[in-house]
Amino acid sequence: MTLSGNNYLQRPLLNGKVNFPVCLAPMVGLSHVALRVLVKSYCPPGVQTPWPTEMLSTWRLPKEELGQTPETLRAGEDPLVPQILGNEEQPIKESVRKLVEWGAAGIDINMGCPVSKALRHNYGVALMGDADYAAEVVRMTVRHAGVPVSVKLRAGLQQDEEFLLRFVRGLEAAGAAWITLHPRLSTQKRRGVADWGQIARVRSALKIPVLGNGDVQCFEDVLAMLTQTGCDSVMIGRALAARPWLMWQVGEALGMANPDGHEGETVPSTETEEGAEYGRACLLLLTTLERYFTPEDGLKRFRFHLRMTSGWLEFGHALMTICARGKSYAELRGGVATFFVNPQRMYKRTSLRE
Ligand SMILES: Cc1cc2nc3c(=O)[nH]c(=O)nc-3n(C[C@H](O)[C@H](O)[C@H](O)COP(=O)(O)O)c2cc1C
């Protein structure tokens, strides 16, 4: 299996601005500014890929000052494609205008959030229960955004692929510039297996670009998803938080230069090389969290990061235990540094339970 310019982005994304087949997924509590800075530090020079935010509520955004809330801190990510949660025209209008003035190059609509509040209030994945209204939400967002609008969705509320294909065709007709499919049902949350076959079938049914998402854990999985589904790009959540140097691995396969600051190094690839890089990435993440967040906020985010990513480490639980005790950035940095004095193994794949 190889990676070449022929097997990705056959349909241009963001008017051709995007030139790389991998992007970070929006994740509440994880895809914050510090993680984006970390992932960006592993991107080869010249990489253009859409950067997400954590999902932003269109009922709150109109009252907020962008750049002043933890979820809207940013560090020059470009192109930035914030994700919104909403279903009503007026708050969507006010929110997207504000986001575009702030520099958003695109807007992503969340149609995948499966929490019970979303289901009760008819946003997130609940929008997949009404194809006409979901298309209307796309239309109203396109009307007010003036930048490309995408949708991130799931396989649906129940198994019905005919419905899924009708649903995505409706989004395309309503003006969606691309869609990202996480092929799990709402009821599966993040359990069970993501059905990549659905990504392939949705891609065949549409003319707009389709991004594939779900269960990509390592470089080989990126290749497999591109090859098996024909998707235009791969969106990665948990595994990109765990091994942000995946950007470097993919860049190397494409013949791109090493990321700045890594000139002359070889990309981590063995279990122990990746284990050591996980440690270095944790230290960089802590330093970056400290730049942007109060200790209370930053330490909480770091522990959540470990909870979601340490499953790839042979002794991830031990690292979590050490970091549960630290009360300051300095203590956590000390704990992490000591833990990684001994070589650690990082597995290519783990069972993703959360
Ligand atoms: C902690 C966490 C928070 C998430 N929050 C969001 C979110 O705000 N918006 C969204 O569209 N998806 C969200 N997701 C789903 C991911 O974007 C992604 O679709 C899912 O994790 C599957 O991809 P992965 O296997 O690469 O992680 C979240 C996932 C996790 C683990």
* CATH 3.30.530.20 applies to domain 7-253: no
Token pair belonging to 79 = 């192109």
Would you say 173 and 130 are in contact if contact means Cβ atoms under 8 Å apart? no
- As a whole number of angstroms, the distance between CA 334 and CA 338 comes to 6
- The one-letter amino acid at 217: Q
List the structure tokens of 269. Answer: 């690839």
Strand order in the sheet with 210-213: 22-24, 233-236, 210-213, 178-185, 149-156, 107-111, 83-85, 56-57
Q: How many residues does the chain have?
A: 354
- For residue 116, the model assigns a pLDDT of 87
Residue nearest to atom 15 of ligand 1 (CA): 27
By alpha-carbon position, which residue is closest to atom 18 of ligand 1?
A: 237
For ligand 1, atom 19, the nearest C-alpha belongs to: 182
Predicted pLDDT of residue 98: 98
Which one from 113, 218, 231, 323 is the annotated catalytic residue? 113
Cβ atoms of residues 216 and 226 within 8 Å = no
Question: Residue 4's pLDDT is what?
Answer: 72
pLDDT for the residue numbered 1: 54
Task: Specify the pLDDT at position 75.
Answer: 97
H or E stretch including 56? Answer: strand 56-57
Q: Whose CA is nearest to atom 28 of ligand 1?
A: 27
Mutate to test the pocket of ligand 1, among 27, 115, 218 (most ligand atoms within 8 A of CB): 27
* Ligand 1 atom, smallest distance to 240 CA: 26
- Which tokens hold the place of 169? 């065709």
Q: Which residue among 22, 23, 24, 28 has the greatest number of ligand 1 atoms within 8 angstroms of its CB, and so is best to mutate?
A: 28
Residue partners of 111: CB distance under 8 A and separation at least 6: 124, 125, 127, 128, 134, 151, 152, 153, 154
**Residue 275's pLDDT is what?**
98
In angstroms, what is the span from residue 300 Cα to ligand 1's centroid?
18
pLDDT of residue 7: 82
Distance 142 CA to ligand 1 centre (A): 24
The ligand 1 site (C-beta within 6 Å) comprises 25-30, 54-55, 83, 110, 112-113, 152, 182, 190, 213-216, 236-239, 308
CB burial string 93-108: b at 16+ within 10 A, e below: bbbbebbbeeebbbbb
Catalytic annotation present for 218 = no
Q: Could you tell me the distance, in angstroms and rounded to a whole number, from the CA of residue 24 to the centre of ligand 1?
A: 10
> How many angstroms separate the CA atoms of 307 and 353, rounded?
11
281 alpha carbon to ligand 1 midpoint, in Å?
20
Domain chopping of the chain, boundaries: 7-253, 271-339
Q: What is the Cα–Cα distance from 45 to 325, expressed in whole angstroms?
A: 38
> Measuring from atom 10 of ligand 1, which residue has the nearest CA?
26
DSSP H or E segment with residue 227: helix 219-229
SS (H, E, C) 288-312: HHHHHCCHHHHHHHHHHHHHHHHHH
Determine the atom of ligand 1 nearest the C-alpha atom of 236.
26
State residue 33's pLDDT score: 98
Question: What's residue 178's pLDDT?
Answer: 98
Going from the Cα of 304 to the center of ligand 1, the distance in angstroms, rounded, reads 13
Predicted confidence pLDDT, tens digits, the chain (354 residues): 578 767 899 999 999 999 999 999 999 999 999 999 999 999 999 999 999 999 999 999 999 999 999 999 999 999 999 999 999 999 999 999 999 999 999 999 999 999 888 888 888 999 999 999 999 999 999 999 999 999 999 999 999 999 999 999 999 999 999 999 999 999 888 888 899 999 999 999 999 999 999 999 999 999 999 999 999 999 999 999 999 999 999 999 999 999 999 999 999 999 999 999 999 999 999 999 999 999 999 999 999 999 999 999 999 999 999 999 899 999 999 999 999 999 999 999 999 766
Q: How far is the CA of 112 from the centre of ligand 1 (A)?
A: 9
Q: How high is the pLDDT of residue 320?
A: 97
